[in-house]
A = this chain, B = another copy of it.
Amino acid sequence: MTQLFGGIEAGGSKFVCILGSGPEDIRAETRFPTTSPAETIQRAVGFFRRQQDKHGGLEAIGIASFGPLDLDRNSPTYGYITSTPKPGWANTDFAGAIRRALALPVGFDTDVNAAALAEWRWGAARGLDTFIYLTIGTGIGGGGMVNGQLMHGLLHPEMGHLRLPHDWQADPFVGACPFHGDCLEGLACGLAIEKRWGRPAEGLPAEHPAWELEAHYLALGIVNWIYTLSPQKIILGGGVMQQAHLFPLIRREVRTLLGGYLQSPAVSENIDDYLVPPVLGKRSGVLGALALAMEAVQSASQFYEM
């Protein structure tokens, strides 16, 4: 019998829950707005309980969550959303609440690490061991794998907040990041585009100067990630990257900024295969949650206590 898993993509504005065995076999799906933790988590639990009645037992649940998160398995607050400004959600034992309610192993990671895992299992990063996944949407976030494992470290990456060159004469916009002003997120996220130009990204035509500037900032971030991590591939997802005309602009700018320094055919000859959209498209996140559930079962003997 096919093993079934549950996935929760927990975003700041909505939750998506799915049940299935992989991208080609999704048995049920629901979405609802993110309200209070108690109400929203209860709604997810209710969905999985009803699906279990219908489809039989699940093996595990995966949660791909907005952050910041505590991912340290040795920490007393492992599985928590920690210091988010989202009202009511700071210090929420998210993974614990799901595990207790459903009595199942729970995989838990950032939305971007989950999306990276989905792309590794089923998408653009198959066979790689070191790559990153960026989402450029309302904000900018990044995750990925190094040496075949998801990136954690002290906390987890917060790739959107790189400090970059900002030519104030060419672009006097002060930046939209409440913490840093003109960090990468502050200069290049969807909110920054809207604030700078007075229109949301999807309302700007392809020939608008917004896009050259956007490509420039994203390319600055990308070269810094290349120099730091030497990824085998970079996947660019999120709402802003729905503007497919951005890809050639970014690729050209990345090559210009590298200045011939990085001697790899992956970048010098095949950059179209190096800087790519997610194969799973907008589904990377929720399928990543499913992939986290699968990982949770594989590693359950190591860390899971019912």
Chain A contacts to B: CB under 8 angstroms: 68, 82-83, 130, 142, 146-149, 151-166, 179-180, 220, 223-225, 227-232, 257, 259-264, 266
User: Closest 5 A-B residue pairs measured CB to CB?
Assistant: A153-B230, A130-B153, A146-B146, A147-B149, A179-B261
**Residue in B154, B162, B164 whose beta carbon sits within 8 Å of that of A232 in the complex:** B154
A295 to B130, CA, bound (A): 21
Q: Known: A151-B146, A153-B232. Contact between A179 and B68, CB under 8 A?
A: no
Interchain residue pairs with CB less than 8 A apart (19): A82-B263, A83-B263, A130-B152, A142-B228, A146-B147, A152-B230, A153-B231, A154-B231, A155-B262, A155-B264, A157-B227, A158-B262, A162-B227, A163-B164, A163-B165, A163-B223, A163-B257, A165-B166, A180-B259
Known: A130-B152, A225-B228. 12 other contacts (CB 8 A): A83-B263, A154-B230, A156-B230, A157-B227, A157-B230, A158-B227, A158-B261, A159-B227, A160-B227, A161-B223, A163-B224, A180-B261
> Do A261 and B146 touch (CB < 8 A)?
no
Assess the B264–A154 pair: CB atoms within 8 A.
yes
A165 and B165 contact, CB distance less than 8 A: yes
Knowing A153-B130, A161-B227, A229-B228, the reply to whether A179 touches B220 (Cβ < 8 A) is no
Q: How far is the CA of A261 from the CA of B160 in the complex (A)?
A: 12
Contacts of A227 in B (CB 8 A): 157-162
A157 near B229: Cβ-Cβ < 8 Å:
yes
Instruction: Chain B residues near A162: list those with CB within 8 A.
Output: 224, 227-228
Contacts of A68 in B (CB 8 A): 263
Question: A228 touching B228 by the CB < 8 A rule?
Answer: yes
- Whether A164 lies near B161 (C-beta < 8 A) is no
> Which chain B residues border A261 with CB–CB below 8 Å?
158, 161, 179-180
Chain B residues, CB < 8 A from A83: 263
A130 to B231, CA, bound (A): 16
Contact A146–B153 (Cβ < 8 Å): yes
| Complex: A83 Cα to B166 Cα, angstroms | 31
Bound complex: CA of A220 vs CA of B161, how far in Å? Answer: 11
A58–chain B nearest beta-carbon distance, Å: 28
Q: Within 8 Å CB of A228, what residues of B?
A: 142, 157, 159, 162, 224-225, 228-229
Check if B230 sits within 8 Å of A151, measured CB to CB: yes
Give A78 Cβ to nearest chain B Cβ, in Å: 15
Which residues of the partner chain B approach A260 to less than 8 Å between Cβ atoms? Answer: 179
Distance, CA A68 to CA B260, complexed state (A): 13
The distance in angstroms between the C-alpha atoms of A275 and B220, with both chains bound, is: 25
- CB of A118, distance to nearest CB on chain B (Å): 19
Minimal beta-carbon separation of A213 from chain B (angstroms)? 15
Q: How far is the CB of A226 from chain B (nearest CB, A)?
A: 8
Inter-chain CA distance A229–B162, complex, in Å, is 11
CA gap between A147 and B152 in the complex, in Å: 8
Complex CA distance for A110 and B288, rounded to whole angstroms: 34
